[in-house]
Amino acid sequence: MIVFLALLPAYVLSIFYRSFLSVIAGPVMTDLQIGPAEFGTLGAAWFITFAVAQFPVGWALDRLGPRRTVACAMAIGAAGAFLFATAQSAWPAVFAMGLVGIGCSPIFMSALYLFARTQAPVRFGVLSSVFIGLGSLGNLAGAAPLALAAQNYGWRPTMLGFAAMFLLATVLAAVLVRDPPVATDGSGRQEGLLQGLRSIVRIGPLWLLAPITLSAYAILATGRGLWIAPFMTQVHGLDAVAAGNAALAMAITMTAGAFIYGALQKRTGRNKPLVAWGTAATGVGFALLALLGERSMPGAVVLFAIVGATGFTYAILMAHARLFFPDHLVGRGMTFVNFLFIAGAAMVQFGSGWFIAAQRALGSAPAVAFANLHWVFAALLLGSTATYLFTPERKAG
């Protein structure tokens, strides 16, 4: 399918850029002379700009089509990728990560838009899960392979290599993406940006979906993207490459989880039970990390791997939300939901950095600080699951 050829390389890089910082945390923090709070801000910058960009991206997908939307945004992201690799202090690096966030913002949404507009609804969840699963190769690249490359060549040359790949992916997407016919509402008109957003926020089930959308992916992305490697180095004394291997184990199970959720959705034709059980299991996994993560290094790796497998409900939750959108609002509707996913990740990444810094200021040992963070994660996941249970499984009527 042309969507995979055109957008999958870009999506692999998008996944990489939301998860790579944990593995090179040590040299980046040393080079840029920053602490945990600033490091959290660095990670959050990608998610903040990505989230804010979802509103113009949704409008552009519905009105201009995915080809121009992706090409323009990714050109900005490529510039940011090169700037990050050469940044000499914290704020230029934060700015660069923000540009990369803009560049990545339309990639997955464009794929979902094309799936929704060109494929039968029953195939949407499966195609989305397969796309995410294959895109998760970026998660794998941002683990042990990145740690080895950074150790052998330095983090800056390594990131320059990824910047060059981002530029190539931009050209590939611009050349191969094809726009579907423009969709209109029942009157034959297209709703404007604000009018479309008003129509979306009136969809009641979305507000029951909101808590789990804000927290589930955010916590998984923060655990994998920011804190697994610092946890393994500071609590269990691993070196950077060994911590990268732990991150790789979690990345592998996240990839497997995406495919497994897609297969289960295809087999059962249901989204809600998969999301509810998966998110609850992830909450329990973080609670076990809080209780037992300090006691055993292999046990902690296994628990992070379990969390990765159970927590990657992103595509299935997106497929559930898709059921509530009419065709002429598919682009804006899905980007609104994705805004919630990514805005949640921005808040959790930013907040977790300050949380760890505050714990350190209070004199807490690393094991205690991370255990407290994992308790917060567990509470948010279990609480949001309880709210999600009230969401209707399908659109009324």
Name the band, by pLDDT with cuts 50, 70 and 90, for residue 117: confident
Whether the per-residue pLDDT at 186 is higher than 60: the answer is: no
The pTM for the full model equals: 0.75
Do the Cβ atoms of 259 and 197 come closer than 8 Å?
Answer: no
Whether the per-residue pLDDT at 187 is higher than 50: the answer is: no
* Mean pLDDT rounded to a whole number for the chain: 88
Name the band, by pLDDT with cuts 50, 70 and 90, for residue 172: very high
pLDDT score for 188: 47
Per-residue pLDDT reduced to its tens digit, 345-374: 889 988 998 999 999 999 999 999 999 999
If you average pLDDT over residues 114-138, what whole number do you get?
A: 80
pLDDT score for 342: 83
Do the Cβ atoms of 54 and 336 come closer than 8 Å?
Answer: yes
Per-residue pLDDT reduced to its tens digit, 233-273: 999 999 888 988 898 899 889 888 988 988 898 888 889 99
Name the band, by pLDDT with cuts 50, 70 and 90, for residue 58: confident
In the chain, which ranges are continuous DSSP H helix? 2-17, 25-32, 36-63, 66-86, 90-104, 107-118, 121-135, 137-141, 144-153, 155-176, 193-201, 205-222, 228-236, 240-268, 272-292, 297-311, 314-322, 330-361, 366-388
Whether the per-residue pLDDT at 385 is higher than 90: the answer is: yes
> 201 or 67: which carries more pLDDT confidence?
67
